A and B are shown apart, each in its own frame.
Chain A
Amino acid sequence: MEAYARARPELVWSFGSELRGIYAVWLREFKVFQREKSRVISSLMTPLMWIFIFGGGLGASVTIPGTGGGAVDYQTYIYPGILTMAVMFSSIFYGLYVVWDKKVDVLKEVLVSPVSRLSIFAGKVLGGCTDASLQAAILLVIGVVAFKIDLGGLALAAVLILLASISLVALGLTIGSFFESFEGFQVIISFLAFPLFFLSGALFPLSESLPDWLHAIAKVNPLTYVVDGLRGSLLGSAFNVSGLLADFGAVVGFAAGMLVVGSWAFGRMKV
C-alpha cells in the first residue's frame, strides 16, 4: 500500500472514463438480472398465458376480421402484441425500480462518483434494455417454434423491440425519478401500462369499425406502431396497417423523445 501511496495517480478523466462508467452501471444491472433467474422465468409466464390460454381459448370461439381472412389463427395474430406487452411491462417496471434504488441508497454511491448523470442514465437504460430484450429473445424462440413466422423479418423485429425497450425504460425512469415510494405504483399500472397495452391493437385489429375515440387514442399511442411493425415483420406485410417505414419512424421518434425527457428527469433527480 505504501508503494501505491507514493505513486498516487491523479484521476484522469476523458470520454473513455464516461464509457467505462456506463459499462460499470450496465454490468451491475446485468449481474442483478443474472442472479434473479426465477424472476425472469416467472415474468415469462404472463405473456405465455396470454398467447396460449387467452389466445387459444378466444381464437377457438370467435373469428376476428383482419386476421388475414383466416390466413393465421388468432393466437398467431396476437403473438406480436403480447411480445410488445412483455417488453413494455419489464421495461417500465425496470425503470420504476429506480425508486427502490433511491430508498435503499445504493444509487447515492453511483451518483456521488465522477461519472456524469447522463452516463448513469445511459447505463441504466442499457441495463433495462438488456433485461427486456433477453426476455423478448426467449419469447421469439418460442414464437418461431410455435407459429409460422417470417424468419427474414426477425432482424427488423429485434430492432423494433430494442427501440421500444429503450423508450419504455426511459419512460419508467422518468416516472420513477419523481416518485418517493412505491405507493403510486398501482396508479401507474392502471392508468398507464394497461391503457398503453389495450389501446395498441395488440389483441384486435384497429379497423374503421372501432369506436372513434378508441381509434383516435390508438393512433397516438406509440405502442400501436410497435405492434404494427412487429406484425408486419414477423407475420408478413399483409398484417401491417401503417407501413413498416412509418412504424419504424414513429418508434424512433418515441425513443428519441423519451431519451431526452428521461435524461432531463434523471438529471434533476435528487437523492
Chain B
Amino acid sequence: MAIIETAGLTKAFDKLVAVNDLTLSIEEGEIFGLLGPNGAGKTTTISMLCTLLTPTRGTATVNGYDILQEPAAVRRSVGIVFQDPTLDTVLTGRENMELHARLYNVPRGLAKQRIDELLAVVDLSDRGDDITKKYSGGMRRRLELARGLIHHPKILFLDEPTLGLDPQTRQHIWRYIREMARQEGTTIILTTHYMEEADELCNRVGIIDHGRIMALDTPKGLKGQLGGDVVRLRLREPRTDGFRDLSFVREVELQGNVLRLTVVDAERNLATLLARARDVESVEVRTPTLDDVFLHYTGHEIRAEEGAGGWMESVVQYRSRGR
C-alpha cells in the first residue's frame, strides 16, 4: 500500500524550479532514499511533504491525508529530522524529548516509557539529563533521531541524517536507522548525497537531479540497469577481437592497452575472459556503484555538482525563508 503519493508536485522560487513535476509513490514500511547533489530539490520535497512549504503546483497524500487539505493530520502522521540541528541547547536531552511528547500529545506515562526506550536505543540513557549544549555532533544527531520517533510516526523523514559526521558515527547512525525501521515498522524517507548511504540503507532509491526524478529502483536494480560489471584487462598485445562473440559480454572498448568490458556476472565468467585474453598484465573487476548509476542517468558526477549546487541551495533556502 502506498503511504505517500505525489502527483505533479512542483515548487518554484521565482524563476528557480526547485522541484519539477514530481510524481512518485512510496510503499508502507520501506526505507526510501532520495539521492542527489545539494540543490537537487530533496529538502524542498520533504518540506512540502511535511507541510512546511506549500507547493506551487500539484499535491501529495501522506498517510492518506492531502497535504493541502489536511495539513494538521499530515503533521500528526509524520516525524522529521531536519538537516540543520533543531535541538534546544538550553534544555537537557530528556527535556527536549518531553517537549516533543507534549507537542504531539503523547500521554504522560506512555511518553516517559517511550523516552526511556528510545534513549536506550540510541545509547544516550546515561546522558539524558545533560544539557544538549554539551553533546557532540553525533550525540545530537542520535537524540534527534530518537526524538522524531516518540509519537510513533507512520513516516519518518530524515534530511541528510549523517551530513558532516565522521565515518564511524555514520556507521552507528545507519545501524540505529535500520534498527528503528525494523522494530517500529516506520516508513523512512531519507535524503542523502552519499552514495554509500543510499546503497547501505535503502530498499529503493530515487535519483533526483534539478528537481526531477531521473531513475527509481532498488539499489541492485539501478546497478543492474547498467548492464553488468566492469572488467578492465591490461594486455601485452592490445586487441578487441575474440570478445564480442561471447554471449555474456555487453560492451567492448579499447583504451590504450586497457580493454574495458561490460560483462554480465563477471565473477563466474572471468576464467573464460582470461583464457581468451591469453597474455594479461593485470585484471580489475568492479561491480557498478551508485556513482556509476548517477553518472549514467544524469551525465555528471554527484561530487562535481557540489559547489554550484550548494550555491543554488542557499538561494532556495534564502527564498523559502523570505516569505
Q: Which residues of B89-136 have CB atoms within 8 Å of chain A's CB atoms?
A: 90-91, 95, 99-100, 102-107, 110, 113-114, 117-118, 121
Contacting residues, chain B, for A111 (C-beta < 8 A): 52
How many whole Å from A211's CB to the nearest CB in chain B?
A: 42
Let me know if B152 and A4 touch, CB within 8 A.
yes
Known: A23-B102, A27-B99, A270-B323. A5 touches B183 (CB 8 A): yes
* Cα of A114 to Cα of B86 in the assembled complex, Å: 17
Contacting residues, chain B, for A8 (C-beta < 8 A): 152
Is B253 close to A, CB under 8 A? no
* Cα of A121 to Cα of B79 in the assembled complex, Å: 22
* Cα of A125 to Cα of B321 in the assembled complex, Å: 23
How many whole Å from A148's CB to the nearest CB in chain B?
A: 41
Known: A13-B105, A112-B75. A180 touches B82 (CB 8 A): no
Is A12 close to B, CB under 8 A? yes
Instruction: Tell me which of A9, A21, A28 has the highest count of chain B C-beta atoms within 10 A of its own C-beta.
Output: A28
* Cα of A28 to Cα of B91 in the assembled complex, Å: 8
Type the 1/0 row for A95-126, where 1 means its CB is closer than 8 Å to any CB of B.
00000001001101111111110000000000
* Cα of A106 to Cα of B77 in the assembled complex, Å: 20
Contacting residues, chain A, for B151 (C-beta < 8 A): 11
Contacting residues, chain A, for B152 (C-beta < 8 A): 4-5, 8-9
How many whole Å from A83's CB to the nearest CB in chain B?
A: 28
Residue of B nearest to A110 (CB): B103
* Cα of A116 to Cα of B103 in the assembled complex, Å: 10
How many whole Å from A194's CB to the nearest CB in chain B?
A: 29
Let me know if A271 and B52 touch, CB within 8 A.
yes
Is B34 close to A, CB under 8 A? no
Contacting residues, chain B, for A106 (C-beta < 8 A): 86-88
Identify B110's interface contact among A9, A16, A31, A35, CB under 8 A.
A9
Let me know if B103 and A113 touch, CB within 8 A.
yes
Contacting residues, chain A, for B183 (C-beta < 8 A): 1-2, 5
Size of the chain A interface, CB-CB below 8 angstroms: 37
Is B84 close to A, CB under 8 A? yes
Q: Which residues of A1-41 have CB atoms within 8 Å of chain B's CB atoms?
A: 1-2, 4-5, 8-9, 11-13, 16-17, 20-21, 23-25, 27-28, 31-32, 35-36
Q: Which residues of A22-68 have CB atoms within 8 Å of chain B's CB atoms?
A: 23-25, 27-28, 31-32, 35-36
Interface residues on B, range: 35 or more
Identify B117's interface contact among A1, A11, A36, CB under 8 A.
A1
Residue of A nearest to B74 (CB): A114
Q: Which residues of B300-320 have CB atoms within 8 Å of chain A's CB atoms?
A: 320
Let me know if A13 and B117 touch, CB within 8 A.
no
Q: How many A-B residue pairs have CB under 8 A?
A: 95
Let me know if B86 and A108 touch, CB within 8 A.
yes
Let me know if B100 and A109 touch, CB within 8 A.
yes
Identify A1's interface contact among B103, B107, B121, CB under 8 A.
B121
* Cα of A20 to Cα of B101 in the assembled complex, Å: 10
Contacting residues, chain A, for B86 (C-beta < 8 A): 105-106, 108-109
Contacting residues, chain A, for B104 (C-beta < 8 A): 11, 113-114
Is B238 close to A, CB under 8 A? no
Q: Which residues of A151-191 have CB atoms within 8 Å of chain B's CB atoms?
A: 180
* Cα of A270 to Cα of B319 in the assembled complex, Å: 10
Contacting residues, chain A, for B52 (C-beta < 8 A): 108, 111-112, 271
Type the 1/0 row for A256-268, where 1 means its CB is closer than 8 Å to any CB of B.
0000000000000
Known: A109-B100, A112-B80. A31 touches B72 (CB 8 A): no
Instruction: Tell me which of A2, A5, A270 has the highest count of chain B C-beta atoms within 10 A of its own C-beta.
Output: A270
Let me know if A105 and B91 touch, CB within 8 A.
no
Contacting residues, chain B, for A1 (C-beta < 8 A): 117-118, 121, 183-184
Can you list 27 residue pairs at the A/B interface with Cβ under 8 Å? A4-B114, A4-B117, A5-B152, A8-B152, A9-B107, A11-B76, A11-B104, A11-B105, A12-B105, A13-B76, A21-B102, A24-B102, A28-B88, A28-B91, A28-B99, A31-B91, A32-B90, A105-B82, A106-B88, A108-B82, A108-B86, A113-B75, A113-B100, A114-B75, A116-B72, A180-B321, A180-B322
Residues of A within 8 A of B (CB): 1-2, 4-5, 8-9, 11-13, 16-17, 20-21, 23-25, 27-28, 31-32, 35-36, 102, 105-106, 108-116, 180, 270-271
Residues of B within 8 A of A (CB): 50-53, 72, 75-77, 80, 82, 84-88, 90-91, 95, 99-100, 102-107, 110, 113-114, 117-118, 121, 151-152, 183-185, 320-323
